[in-house]
Amino acid sequence: MAYQAQYYPGNSQIAKNRRRYMDPSEKLKKLRDVAMDDVVRILGHRAPGEDYKSIHPPLEEGNEPDDYVRKLVTPIEGAKKGDRIRYVQFTDSIYFAPMVPYLRAWMYMTRMRGFDTGTLSGRQIIEMRERDLEKASKELIDNETFDPAKTGIRGATVHGHACRLDENGLMFDAWQRYRWNAKKGEVEYVKDQVALPLDKPISVGKPLPDAELKKMTTIFRVDGVDMIDDPEVMAMNLRIHRLRTLCGFQAFALKGE
Amino acid sequence: MMTSTNAPEAVPLPEILIFPNRLLKAETTEKLLNRIYEVPHVRQVNIAGEALPAVLSSGPNKGLPNEHPERRVITVKGEQVELRLLVGRVFVEIDDIDHVQRALEEIDEICIEILPFGFNLEVGRYSKYKPTVTDYKKCKR
């Protein structure tokens, strides 16, 4: 029988959301459409329309040494062309952002290929070949894993995920890369992800209402859905802690657990 | 932490902590501080919050000015003060413990008016009231 992935345990709404985001067979809703050129501007790695810089000749020139893994793995588009590795980094507020950093990592692992990712307490970086990174970034900005007010695109000085929101309901950003446009009721980026001012503001749309966010979030919170109310999730987490405490990373070495 | 006076105190005085549910804009901070200073028996007001750096301290644009609209000069009691924070906590020091209850009631009324998104009020002592040994070692006083 073929192996069937079990993405996340539990029956609470949060557990169901987590499973849905991680399951690649589930199509994520597209909530906005930010133009590709604007995504490129926010990333700040190249000007829109500029050629991709390369770090090695295209693979089709055949200069690579013979290797089993090369035969086994189909390269992604950017790798074929020899693109540079560039990055995008998302910050998720603890105030019911749609995603949390480690869930982002799990989701990327099941939905994308050809990248490296790193998880920190409030942010999640993706490193990838440039042209593939741009496509992935656009998808992650356009779909339901992104909320203009509670998710930030921040390459450096990401501090703010655990701070209170500001008066407009936006996550704190010491560099104010995005601002609230009261007339339109939208959030717009005025700086790229490393705070270089943009020529013109880029709108990323209206923030989702709090009630909506509480339904689609993946964050267990005492004032939302408490993890303790989902026994299966609690049991899994306690088991992980127990095994980790007893035998570090060699959970398999423990007999009878 | 931004403090309004350097005068040391003889005894630890009570402080009222205003803890808003949102980080305050410069405009709201200015309004709130001016109203608080109108309350009788307020000795000094200290504010704390999230720092807004003047220049970018990391990344490829390190050293460029950080244009943040909330980092600006505000006028408190007719004095120009450079606000370098997005304010998250306000400590109001009262000159005597007997005046705390009355001041608390007045500050509550002001906060209800100026902070519609909610706040908490607490009474206690949240900051040092005289220099510590470390301060002497650092020659701060």
Question: B140 lies in a domain?
Answer: no
Give residue B73's domain range. Answer: 15-56+66-127
Question: B72 lies in a domain?
Answer: yes
Question: B139 lies in a domain?
Answer: no
Does residue A195 have a pLDDT over 80? yes
pLDDT value, residue B9: 64
Tell if the CB–CB gap between A194 and B61 is shorter than 8 Å. yes
DSSP string, chain A: -----------SHHHHHHHHHH-TTSPPPB-----HHHHHHHH-SS-TTPPPPBSS--GGG--SPP-HHHHHSPPPHHHHHTBPEEEEEEEE-TTT-S--HHHHHHHHHHH--SEEEEE-SSEEEEEEEHHHHHHHHHHHHHBTT--TTTEEE-SS----TTSPPBTTSPPP-TT--EEEETTTTEEEEEE-TT-PEEEEEEE--PPPPHHHHHHH-----TTS--GGG-HHHHHHHHHHHHHHHHHTT-GGG-TT-
pLDDT value, residue B3: 56
Question: B25 lies in a domain?
Answer: yes
Q: Which residues of A touch B117 (CB under 8 A)?
A: 167
- Mean pLDDT on A2-24: 93
Give per-residue pLDDT as tens, A129-171. Answer: 999 999 999 999 999 999 999 999 999 999 999 999 999 999 9
Question: B10 lies in a domain?
Answer: no
Q: Which of B50, B62, B111, B115 to mutate: most A Cβ within 10 Å? A: B50
| List of chain B residues with pLDDT < 50 | none
Question: B133 lies in a domain?
Answer: no
Question: B134 lies in a domain?
Answer: no
User: How close, in Å, is residue B88 to chain A by CA atoms?
Assistant: 8
| Strands B73-76 vs A186-191: parallel, antiparallel or unpaired | unpaired
Domain of B42, CATH number, reads 3.30.70
* CA A178/CA A209 separation, integer angstroms: 18
| Total number of domains in chain B | 1
ipTM exceeds 0.90: no
pLDDT value, residue B71: 95
Task: Give the number of A-B residue pairs with CB atoms closer than 8 Å.
Answer: 58
User: How close, in Å, is residue B9 to chain A by CA atoms?
Assistant: 32
Question: B135 lies in a domain?
Answer: no
